[in-house]
Structure 1
């Protein structure tokens, strides 16, 4: 039977856990906003890179050259999967792992993972990883992580002949806090290149460049990779914290219900203790009174 002391300790512990959960909710709310801002901050640079690609592609079209071939003949494929380093975010990592496994089932691929939780799941499957990276603790670390990923991509394409590269991550869509999605990193889709080539230039004249067109095109493709990966990581991290916020809200409701149950049980035990002590006092008083009346 639970005593008043044990119930009081349980209430204190529940209150401490509730305070931790509320702190985690606040941190997740702040983190969601900073990663949303990081994703929006790339919009202007993404437009600049797109205009650069548009200018180069239009010049190629005017010169009668075909659309660039982004190593389409390469047979090898690769996946980069983004998970999380920390838990307490519901089914966030399970969703993206299942999604990635369905892609891997289509054929042999090189696999890179960002996030210790997903890396552990693939490790349990016995799946070898080309690389496993950790996520930054704030939006300021996104650029360094993206640069590291691009170095790994260069190694894949140059040393291992990878030509098909996909990035898998979670993003928020509507009420879904973690919806798996795919970003096609390489090669650039023909439809995308054709759209840029045929688009109307926003100014009166095309910009002039002196760099070798192929080198410039390669540099612009790399900058596009930077933009797409940076925005995808920001979306994934915002999704992670949104999932954690939902999980903490559910935990807070459960804690409040548990706290109410403990308080009710505490009051019941306290009343039973008070009643028992009063009965002991009354019984003792009656016993003393009876003894005084005896001759």
Structure 2
């Protein structure tokens, strides 16, 4: 194969890669938008849950002085950690970044392995955590689309219930990448349990904006448990949504770097091709001229 034919093949391959990278950029941008929209849509739902908690806390405050304390504290014998990574590659340092952050935070706790349970969401986290010496109790697959988040959240909630009831895990922390813009994200830590006492007090102190006073007929502890399940659902759903948005932002950034490299290679190949093509044309013309001069 001549050097010109080889360059033509390289140019064709680079152009095909360029088309693939551009498509991946478009898909990543679309995914970021839909996950951001999904997270934003939780705001009104979250407000409704907080209004329900406000009603219960207001109603039970004078009858049970320990209501908030029982909600916001617990006997912590073991700690549970849920770390969100990715199931797919080509997303830069996304998994390394959240793994290193979570490991650094866990080291501050100075817990022995028997007092720590870790769930990893996304198989690409496993190697980073195991290399650091942390065992993983269970791995969940990160959903590949918005439609898969709800079922995954429900599954994890069932495991959290088992953690609390059977394994005496009273403190649960989420680690995930929080999206700032289309190409910027940072690791984020959220304490799921125990509940923040200041947050509960803030909810109770809010003014009721309607003239109609709310009430409820079911037992307050049953209602609180139901509202908190919905609250935990919101927090986990948000963690999934923001992590997936961050993953796609990382992928978008990686594809932008790849696109730039491909463009530089295409420019290089095209320049070499034009130079060699011009040289070949010049050689052919010289041969024709030489043959003409010899014949005369």
TM-score normalized with structure 2 length: 0.92
Tell me the CA shift for residue 222 of structure 1.
1.3
Tell me the CA shift for residue 190 of structure 1.
0.7
Contact 1:55 1:206 in 2 (8 A): no
Residues 1:268 and 2:275 aligned together = yes
Aligned to 1:213: 220
Aligned to 1:202: 209
Aligned to 2:74: 72
Secondary structure of the 1:10 match is: helix
Supply the distance in 2 between the matched residues of 1:68 and 1:215 (Cα, whole angstroms): 17
Aligned to 2:33: 33
Aligned to 1:148: 155
Contact 2:69 2:197 in 1 (8 A): no
Aligned to 1:252: 259
Match of 1:224 among 222, 231, 234: 231
Supply the distance in 2 between the matched residues of 1:159 and 1:252 (Cα, whole angstroms): 51
Aligned to 1:293: none
Secondary structure of the 1:169 match is: strand
Supply the distance in 2 between the matched residues of 1:169 and 1:22 (Cα, whole angstroms): 27
- Residues 1:2 and 1:62: Cα distance change in structure 2 (over 3 Å): farther
Match of 2:173 among 166, 176, 180: 166
Aligned to 2:15: 15
Supply the distance in 2 between the matched residues of 1:100 and 1:270 (Cα, whole angstroms): 56
Unaligned stretches of 5+ in structure 1? 290-295
Aligned to 2:110: 107
Aligned to 2:197: 190
Supply the distance in 2 between the matched residues of 1:144 and 1:271 (Cα, whole angstroms): 62
Contact 1:11 1:263 in 2 (8 A): yes
Supply the distance in 2 between the matched residues of 1:59 and 1:107 (Cα, whole angstroms): 40
Supply the distance in 1 between the matched residues of 2:183 and 2:103 (Cα, whole angstroms): 21
Tell me the CA shift for residue 273 of structure 1.
1.2
Tell me the CA shift for residue 127 of structure 1.
2.5
Runs (4+) of structure 1 exceeding 6 A deviation are none
Contact 2:80 2:118 in 1 (8 A): yes
Secondary structure of the 2:271 match is: helix
Tell me the CA shift for residue 125 of structure 1.
3.8
Supply the distance in 2 between the matched residues of 1:271 and 1:31 (Cα, whole angstroms): 46
Mean Cα deviation higher: 101-110 or 256-265: 101-110
Unaligned stretches of 5+ in structure 2? none
Secondary structure of the 2:174 match is: strand
Tell me the CA shift for residue 22 of structure 1.
0.6
Tell me the CA shift for residue 83 of structure 1.
0.8
Count the aligned residue pairs.
Answer: 289
Contact 1:171 1:178 in 2 (8 A): yes
Q: Please tell me whether Structure 1 or Structure 2 has the larger radius of gyration of its CA atoms.
A: 1
Residues 1:97 and 2:104 aligned together = no
Over aligned residues, Cα RMSD in angstroms? 1.8
Mean Cα deviation higher: 227-236 or 123-132: 123-132
Aligned to 2:84: 82
Secondary structure of the 1:69 match is: helix
Secondary structure of the 2:184 match is: strand
